[in-house]
């Protein structure tokens, strides 16, 4: 019996069509006058604080101070809304818009587990009106360690539900090996979905308890059909 499902955002619920990269680039150009193509320096599944740190080190050539990194994240958020709105490549992944209301109707508690800082997560979800499905989450603003932010999501789920969440009845859904490792590190099973940068075989090799092409049809481990 699965009672709680935690969803990653980028590559799992949706793709922004590069809006995040555009926002980071605009922020670093505005603040430091440099071109910062995060795709050249980061990997899928990294947290936003990790990205800011890496860009400082590899593009600017030094570690940014805490104040500078905070300023960069603020600049990223400043530009993210417009970048998401203007993105021609923004799309919700196959099956998501049918799955989420079906899980809600089944009484499943839905949360987020994402490397995005909390504000960025909700900006990305808002264009597709997906915020309404998620009562809680663990975010990159909670920890740069994905296992720790997954634990934080479970803790917040307890506050929402009023009872401690049983790890045996909770699963995480993500598109990268980092998502698999984080879920297992927090003591829950993981559905790997090959809607991002990794294949079903790669997610299987990473240890996913289920590895599926997408969540459409009968592939998801919770049956939401009538």
Q: Summarize pLDDT for 16-32 with one digit per residue, the tens.
A: 999 999 999 899 888 88
Position 50 pLDDT exceeds 90: no
Position 225 pLDDT exceeds 80: no
- In sequence order, the β-bridge partners of residue 7 are 112, 173
Position 91 pLDDT exceeds 90: yes
Domain for residue 224, yes or no? no
Residue 53 and residue 110 in one domain: no
Residue 113 and residue 177 in one domain: yes
Tell me what the mean pLDDT of segment 76-84 comes to.
96
Domain for residue 223, yes or no? no
Residue 134 and residue 175 in one domain: yes
What confidence score (pLDDT) does residue 42 get? Answer: 67
Comparing 41-45, 92-96, 143-147, 212-216, the range with the smallest average pLDDT is 41-45
Residue 94 and residue 51 in one domain: no
What confidence score (pLDDT) does residue 152 get? Answer: 97
Residue 176 and residue 197 in one domain: yes
Note the pTM of the prediction, 2 decimals. 0.92
Band of pLDDT at residue 226, cut at 50, 70 and 90: low
- Residues 77, 20: Cα–Cα separation, whole Å: 9
Residue 171 and residue 111 in one domain: yes
Domain for residue 200, yes or no? yes
The H or E element containing residue 28 is helix 19-32
Residue 117 and residue 174 in one domain: yes
Question: Domain containing 133 — which CATH number?
Answer: 3.40.50.1000
Domain for residue 220, yes or no? no
Q: Which structural domain range is residue 44 located in?
A: 19-86
């Amino acid at each position: 019996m699965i009672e709680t499902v935690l969803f990653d955002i980028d590559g799992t619920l949706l793709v922004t069509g590069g809006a995040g990269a555009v926002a980071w680039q605009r922020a670093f150009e505005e603040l430091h006058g440099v071109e910062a193509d995060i795709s050249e320096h980061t990997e899928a599944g990294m947290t936003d604080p990790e990205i800011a740190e890496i860009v400082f080190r590899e593009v600017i050539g030094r570690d940014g101070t805490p104040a500078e990194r905070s300023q960069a994240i603020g600049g990223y958020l400043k530009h993210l809304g417009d970048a998401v709105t203007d993105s021609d490549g923004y799309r919700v992944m196959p099956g998501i818009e049918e799955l989420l209301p079906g899980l809600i109707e089944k009484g499943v508690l839905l949360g987020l587990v994402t490397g995005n800082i909390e504000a960025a997560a909700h900006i990305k979800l808002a264009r597709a009106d997906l915020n309404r499905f998620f009562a809680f989450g663990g975010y990159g603003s909670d920890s740069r360690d994905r296992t720790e932010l997954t634990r934080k999501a479970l803790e917040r789920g307890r506050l929402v539900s009023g009872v401690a969440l049983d790890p045996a009845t909770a699963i995480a859904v993500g598109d990268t090996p980092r998502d698999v490792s984080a879920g297992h590190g927090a003591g829950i099973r993981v559905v790997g979905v090959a809607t991002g940068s990794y294949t079903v075989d790669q997610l299987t090799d990473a240890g996913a308890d289920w590895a599926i092409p997408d969540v459409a049809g009968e592939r998801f481990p919770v049956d939401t059909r009538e």
